Amino acid sequence: MSVKTICIDARLYGYAHTGIGRYVANLIRFLPADKHTRIVLIVSPADYSNPQLQAYPRFIARFHPYHPLAQLEMPLLALRIRADLLHVPHFSIPVLWPGRLVVTVHDLIKNISRGRDTTTRSPMMYHLKYLGYLFVLKLALLRARKIFVPAKYWREILIRDYRIDPSRIIVTYEGVDTQITRSSVPTEFALPKPLVVYTGNLYPHKNVPVLLRAIKLFNGEVHLAIVCARSVFTQRFEKMVHTLNLEKEVVFLGRLTDAQLSSLYAYADLFVFPSLIEGFGLPGLEAMAVGLPVIAAKASCLPEIYRQAALYFNPHDPKDLQLKISRVLADPALRANLISRGQKLVKLYSWPKMAKITWTEYQNALR
């Protein structure tokens, strides 16, 4: 039996690239060894010497996945590698690649959340980039032998909106990283309590304004910590906090290490995830893993992923969210039940299982 070469586009490897980066890192970490299969990685210059990737042959790509010149660079690299199968873990496939292809579609947020409020670019530039996105996505869905998605919710949307053969769409639920664990309460997070935590970015589809308005309804009795790296939308939310006169109730903590996030979760009272659109919803699962009760929007794939382990609210109603926060804070039995269900739920999601299913579909795509 001849050795087959599977090439993985790992340019977005690592936690700095948020959800996609975690997915790529854990996929590579848990792929099985097989003497009949050779795994080759295409990496960014920064990751070429990464000790966690030394087990695999690596080729450097100079351009970011969304850079126009990447469309020329990537097919040439894949041809040089002599890839029998190319896995692109995001929609931005190299359109000139003539060989076998599988792709991961983490979500279709750009299809749903669009318009001037979702960008800081000029209207002309935004529309050009949006048309380019739609073209590349459509081509990826047409050409890929297998399409990996993190939830049945997205599988059904792809079948409905793009009329894709269901047998080509594979649900690979993601996992929960074990780096974040419950820890003792540190003094550095001696914030006012009761304390609600939100972790994530500030794009419009994240629906954080509803959370701010719910906090406003408590008239200073409940506080909110937002964990988010600086983004182009941060100033908008800082302005909204000022407009709502919430400077004393809301604190922006920026990006935290896993150890710091664990400490914050240990100190906090509950986690709220108000997002309207999510690919999988890892932040809520991580909060459950360390023993925080979770309140989530009844929207997108969140009810599918969180099941009965979260308390759901109408994502368009700050008053409903306020009532749900009040219930969790006032009812120890409800709080304990949510914590227990959450810690049981996260055990069902596994990165090794995701990698195993992906590996099986690699073999099917090579046939």
Span 84-105, pLDDT tens digits: 999 999 999 999 999 999 999 9
Residue 240 half-sphere exposure, CB side, CA atoms within 13 Å? 18
Q: How far apart are CA 335 and CA 358, in angstroms?
A: 36
**Residues 225-254, buried b or exposed e (16+ Cβ, 10 A)?**
bbbbeeeebbebbeebbeeeebeebbbebe
pLDDT band for position 118 (cuts 50, 70, 90): low
Reduced to 3 states (helix: H, G, I; strand: E, B; else coil), residue 198 is strand
With both helix axes pointing from N to C terminus, report the angle between 332-345 and 318-330 in degrees, rounded to the nearest 10.
Answer: 100
Pairwise CA distance, residues 321 & 219, whole Å = 14
Confidence bin at 183 (pLDDT 50/70/90): low
CB distance 103 to 122 below 8 Å: no
C-alpha distances (whole Å) from 214 to each of 217, 220, 318 are: 5, 11, 5
Q: Give CA torsion, residues 89, 95, 99, 101, to 10 deg.
A: 20
- Residue 33 DSSP class: P
Q: Is the pTM of this model over 0.75?
A: yes
Instruction: Identify the CA nearest to 93 among candidates 149, 60, 137, 154.
Output: 137
User: Which tokens go with 243?
Assistant: 């407009």
| 292-331 tens-digit pLDDT | 999 999 999 999 999 999 999 999 999 999 999 999 999 9
Mind listing the domains of the chain with CATH numbers? 4-175+350-366 (3.40.50.2000), 187-348 (3.40.50.2000)
| Overall average pLDDT of the 159-171 stretch | 97
Looking at per-residue pLDDT, the higher value among 297 and 133 belongs to 297
